[in-house]
Amino acid sequence: MLYRTAGQFKTSYQADQALFPIRQDAFLLGIILILAWVVFPMTASEFTFQTLLIPILIYSLAALGLNILTGYAGQLSLGTAAFMGVGAYACYKMITIMPWMNPIVAILLSGVFSAGIGVAFGIPSLRIKGFYLAIATLAAQFFLVWLFEKWAWLYNYNASGAIQVPNLEMFGTYVAGPQASSIVQYYVVLFIVSLLTMLCINLTRGNLGRTWKATRDMDIAAELIGINLMKSKLTAFAVSSYIVGVAGALFVFMWRGAAEPNLFDIPLSFRILFIAIIGGLGSIMGNYLGAILIVGLPVVLNLLPAALGIPIDSATVEHLNIMIVGSLIVFFLIVEPHGLAQLWRLIREKLIIWPFPH
Amino acid sequence: MKDTEGYVTADGRQIGGVLMEMRNITLKFGGVTAISDISFDIREGEIRAIIGPNGAGKSSMLNIISGFYTPTIGEVWYKGAKRPPMKPYEVARMGVARTFQNIALFEGMTVLDNVMTGRLTHMHAGILSQAIWWGKARDEEIANREKVERVIDFLEIQNIRKTPVGRLPYGLKKRVELARALAAEPSILLLDEPMAGMNVEEKEDMSRFILDVNDEFGTTIALIEHDMGVVMDLSDRVVVMDYGKKIGDGTPEEVRNNQDVIDAYLGVPH
C-alpha cells in the first residue's frame, strides 16, 4: 500500500533517470533529512551529539569512502584508517600554517592529500587483486602510521607526539577546538556528509559508476568493451581516499579534538570495513545503516540496563555489549550476506507488489 | 577478388571492400603453436564464420582480433591501415565489439546498466559534471539512454531492462550480451559461439537477431559457431581451421565440398 507505484508514469528518459523515480522514496528521504537537519539537533543532548549523532555521521562517511573502492570498484583495502590519518594530519598542517583558512575549506582540501597518497598506494591494484591487494594496502596502513609517529614536522614537534585541534572560528562562532559547541560541529559534519553523499550518489549512478561496477564484476570483459582498467581503478582509489581523508579530518577536528598516531591503527580500518560489509557493499545507504548498528547500538545497549533499572555493573554491561553486537553481526550476515541495504531493498520490493506475492 | 571491390552474396546483398585483414598470423604460447600462418580477410557488411573442431584455434583468433592476444608473427590490418600493438580497450574504442563464449556480463548490474556500459566509449563528461549530474553528464546520459533503448527495443528485451542480470536465464543473458556489444555501434562485431548451449527456439531467435543486425545496421559480423546448420545458413563466407592451420576458406558450398574440411570433421583412416 505505502509503496504503490501504479499510476506513476514516466514520459521522458530524464524522468526515468531521476534520483527517485518512485515518489515514496523521495518522501522517505525528505523525512530523514528533516529529522537530521531539524528534529535531532533541536532535541539532542550534549551526550547524544558526542556519542551518537556526530560519530555515526563521520563513520558513515568513512565507510562510504571505502565502499566506493571495495563495494563499487571491487578493490579490497585494509588501509582506510591510515588514509583517514592523512586527511587529519593534512588538515592540521594546513590550519597551523595558514590559521586564517576557513575550516570547512581546509577539511574539504585535506581530502586532496589523502587522494594523492591513495592513488600512489593504489598502483599495485593494477597487478594484483582480491586478498593479495588487501595485503598490499596493509603496507600503507603500517607505513603511514609509522610516518605519523616518526615525522615530527607533521605534529609540529609537539612533545606529546599528538595533534591538538586549536580553536577555529568561522563567521564569529567556534566550529572546532575546545570552545566549539556540539550543535555547530554537528551541523558542519552534517553539511559535509550530505554534500559528499549527494556527489557520490551521482557518481555511482553515472558513467564512472558503471565503469567501476564493470571493473568489479568482470575485469576482462570490462577491458574488452573499452574500459581503461588503470584509469578506472585509480579514479576509484582517488575518489575513495578523498572521502576517507575528509572523514579523517572531521574525525579529529569535529569529534575527537586531538589525535595520536595509534588512533589510526588497524582496528579503526577493520571497524570501517565492518560497517561497509554489514551495511552492504555496493550501496550508499548501507553505510549509514551499518554505522548506526556498529557505532550506535553499543551506546544504546550501554544505557539500556540503567534505563530499565536492572542492577548490573558497567564492566559486565561492557562484556554483554560486545557479545550482543557480535552475535547480531553474525545474525545479520546469515540472514542477508549482502548487508542491511539489501535487506531494505528486498523489503521495499515486497512492499511495492504487496499484497500479491509476485 | 580485389581489396576494394565487393561481391554480391547468394541472397543478393552487396558486400563491400576489405574491413579487416589478418596477414600471416602465427600465435605461440611458449612451445605450443596455437595458430600457424593464417591469412584471411573480413569484408564490409558480410557475415564471416570461423569454424573448426575443438582446439583448432578459433577463439585464439578472435582474441587476436579483439586485441586480447598479440600475434607472435603477422599483422592485423584494419580499415586500410596496419594496426599497431594495442591494449584491448583501445581496440574496442576503434569500433570492435564482441561477445564471449562463457557469458561475461556484469552480474551485479541491471540489464539497462549493462547495455549502457556498451556506450562507455561514446561518453566523455568529466568527473565533476558527473558528480553534480548537471550539464554535459546529464545530457550525455539521456542521449545515450535513447540509443540504448533502441537496441533494447530491437532485441526485444524491454520487459527485463531493470532486472539484475544475475536473475536472468541463460538464453536471455546471451541476448543481453549481444545488446551490450551492439550498443557500442561497432564497425565489426565478434560473436564467440553465440548459440552455445541453446535450445532450438533460442537458436532460431538468435539467428534472426544476427541476420537483422547485419541487415538493419549493416554491421560486419565475424562469428565462431559449432552448429553447422546455423553456420551454413547464416554466413556468407567461412574460414575453416584445424590444428591451428587454415584448411578451407570460401562460401558455405565451397567449404562443404572441400575434401580437407570433410576429413577434418569426419576423420580419415590412417
What does DSSP assign to residue A22?
Answer: S
Taking CA–CA distances from B108, the nearest residue in chain A reads A217
Q: Which residues of A touch B173 (CB under 8 A)?
A: none
Contact A203 B184 (CB under 8 A): no
Please state whether beta strands B18-29 and B96-98 pair in parallel, antiparallel, or not at all (unpaired): unpaired
Residue A311 forms part of a structural domain:
no
Residues A83 and A141: beta-carbon distance below 8 Å? no
Give chain B's count of helices (H) and strands (E). 10, 12
* The three three-digit cell numbers of residue A280, written as one number: 552492504
Q: Which amino acid is at B11?
A: D
- Continuous segment of H or E residues that includes residue B108: none
* The three three-digit cell numbers of residue A290, written as one number: 551499518
Q: Which amino acid is at B163?
A: T
Residue A79: closest CA among A119, A109, A107? A119
pLDDT confidence of A186, banded at 50, 70, 90?
Answer: very high
Residues B220 and B43: beta-carbon distance below 8 Å? yes
Q: Which residues of A touch B107 (CB under 8 A)?
A: 217-218
Lowest mean pLDDT, pick from A135-139, A192-196, A202-206, B13-17:
B13-17
* pLDDT given at position A177: 76
- For A62-78, give one letter per residue: b (16+ CB within 10 A) or e: bbbbbbbbbbbbbbbbb
Residue A14: which residues within 8 A CB-CB, separation 6 or more? B138, B142
Residue A303: which residues within 8 A CB-CB, separation 6 or more? none
What distances in angstroms separate CA A166 from CA A98, A191, A237, A288, one per listed residue? 12, 21, 31, 29
Residue A322: closest CA among A356, A286, A298, A355? A298
pLDDT confidence of B270, banded at 50, 70, 90?
Answer: low
Q: Which residues of B touch A206 (CB under 8 A)?
A: 125, 130, 133, 137, 141
Please say if the pLDDT value at position A1 is more than 60. Answer: no
Q: Does B188 touch chain A (CB under 8 A)?
A: no
Q: Cα–Cα distance between B116 and B120 in angstroms, integer?
A: 7
Residue A285 forms part of a structural domain:
no
Residue A71 forms part of a structural domain:
yes
Q: Cα–Cα distance between A242 and A139 in angstroms, integer?
A: 19
Residue A220: closest CA among B22, B183, B150, B192? B192
Contact A203 B121 (CB under 8 A): no
Q: Which residues of B touch A214 (CB under 8 A)?
A: 106, 109, 117, 120
Average pLDDT score, chain A? 88
> How many independent structural domains does chain A possess?
1
pLDDT in tens, B160-198: 988 899 889 988 999 999 999 999 999 999 999 998 888
- CB burial of residue A241 (10 Å; 0-12, 13-18, 19+): buried
Q: Which residues of A touch B125 (CB under 8 A)?
A: 206-207
Residue A30 has φ and ψ, to the nearest 5°, of: -55, -45
Residue A133 forms part of a structural domain:
yes
Residues B140 and B124: beta-carbon distance below 8 Å? yes
Q: Which residues of B touch A225 (CB under 8 A)?
A: 89, 92, 97, 117-118, 120-121, 180-181, 184
pLDDT in tens, B81-111: 899 989 999 999 999 999 998 889 999 899 9
Residue A305 forms part of a structural domain:
no
Contact A207 B120 (CB under 8 A): yes
Nearest to A210 among B66, B117, B142 (CB): B117
Please say if the pLDDT value at position B149 is more than 80. Answer: yes
Contact A225 B180 (CB under 8 A): yes
* The three three-digit cell numbers of residue B172, written as one number: 536471455
Residues A26 and A15: beta-carbon distance below 8 Å? no
Contact A218 B105 (CB under 8 A): yes
DSSP β-bridge partners for residue B242: B245
* pLDDT given at position A257: 86
User: For cell 556484469, what's the residue?
Assistant: B106
Q: Cα–Cα distance between B56 and B247 in angstroms, integer?
A: 11
Contact B108 A226 (CB under 8 A): no
User: For cell 574488452, what's the residue?
Assistant: A224
Please say if the pLDDT value at position A163 is more than 80. Answer: yes
Nearest to B133 among A13, A206, A221 (CB): A206
Taking CA–CA distances from A223, the nearest residue in chain B reads B89
* pLDDT given at position A64: 95
- For A182-213, give one letter per residue: b (16+ CB within 10 A) or e: bebbbebbbebbeebbebbbbbbbbbbbbbbb
Residue span of the structural domain in which A156 resides: 45-265
* The three three-digit cell numbers of residue A262, written as one number: 595509534
- CB burial of residue A250 (10 Å; 0-12, 13-18, 19+): buried
* The three three-digit cell numbers of residue B19, written as one number: 574491413
Please state whether beta strands B188-192 and B96-98 pair in parallel, antiparallel, or not at all (unpaired): parallel
Give the Cβ contact number of residue A47 at 10 Å: 11
pLDDT confidence of A83, banded at 50, 70, 90?
Answer: very high
Residue A163 forms part of a structural domain:
yes
* pLDDT given at position A344: 86
Contact B92 A226 (CB under 8 A): yes
pLDDT confidence of A350, banded at 50, 70, 90?
Answer: confident
Residue A68 forms part of a structural domain:
yes
* The three three-digit cell numbers of residue A115, written as one number: 587522494
pLDDT confidence of B222, banded at 50, 70, 90?
Answer: very high
- CB burial of residue A106 (10 Å; 0-12, 13-18, 19+): buried
Please say if the pLDDT value at position A358 is more than 80. Answer: no
* Residue A8 region by backbone torsions, left for phi larger than 0, else alpha for psi between -120 and 50, else beta: beta
Q: Which amino acid is at B200?
A: V
3-state class of B87 per DSSP?
A: coil
Please say if the pLDDT value at position B2 is more than 80. Answer: no
* pLDDT given at position B186: 92
pLDDT confidence of B48, banded at 50, 70, 90?
Answer: very high
* The three three-digit cell numbers of residue A230, written as one number: 588503470
Residue A13 forms part of a structural domain:
no
Domains, chain B, with CATH or none = 1-94+221-270 (3.40.50.300), 96-185 (3.40.50.300)
Q: Which residues of B touch A346 (CB under 8 A)?
A: none
Residue A287: closest CA among A325, A244, A323? A244
* pLDDT given at position A85: 94
* The three three-digit cell numbers of residue A122, written as one number: 593504489
Q: Cα–Cα distance between A146 and A139 in angstroms, integer?
A: 11
Give the Cβ contact number of residue B200 at 10 Å: 8
